[in-house]
Amino acid sequence: MHPGTVLARRRLYLLARVVVARHYRRRLTLPVVAGALASSPRQLQRAYAQFGEITFHEDLFSRCGTWRTSLATARRLTSRRRSAAVTASRRPASAPRPAGTSGEREPAVG
């Protein structure tokens, strides 16, 4: 294979990895990324096959999975905070506070 071809393919692979890393939350497909890099989907597949340890599909979905997991965790935490705030706002002012939430500081030990 011509050295120029190897260099061009390596560059295409690296640029594709950057595009996927930066824009994985969007609806990316092989033709979309290839078009953005002025290449063909087949050339991009060849670049991933030659230089990557994973396929384009695996690269994209490994990042999406991480993003979806972190998004789900953030939503779950936000939901818990919201429900705790609603519960606290519904409790009458004269109602006793749950144990351990009196607002008093515990004496320092030592």
Please indicate, yes or no, whether the overall pTM of this predicted structure exceeds 0.75.
no
Ranges of each domain in the chain: 3-84
pLDDT above 90 coverage of the chain, percent = 35
Task: State pLDDT tens for residues 64-86.
Answer: 665 555 555 566 666 666 666 65
Q: Which pLDDT belongs to residue 99?
A: 61
Q: Which pLDDT belongs to residue 50?
A: 95
Q: Return phi, psi of residue 95, to 5°.
A: -70, 145
Q: Which residues of 6-35 are buried (b: 16+ CB within 10 A; e: fewer)?
A: eeebeebbebbbebbeeebeeebebeebbe
Contacts of 48 (CB under 8 A, 6+ apart): 13, 16, 54, 55, 56, 59
Which residues of the chain register pLDDT less than 50? none
Residue pointed to by tokens 């061009």: 8
CB 24 within 8 A of CB 63: yes
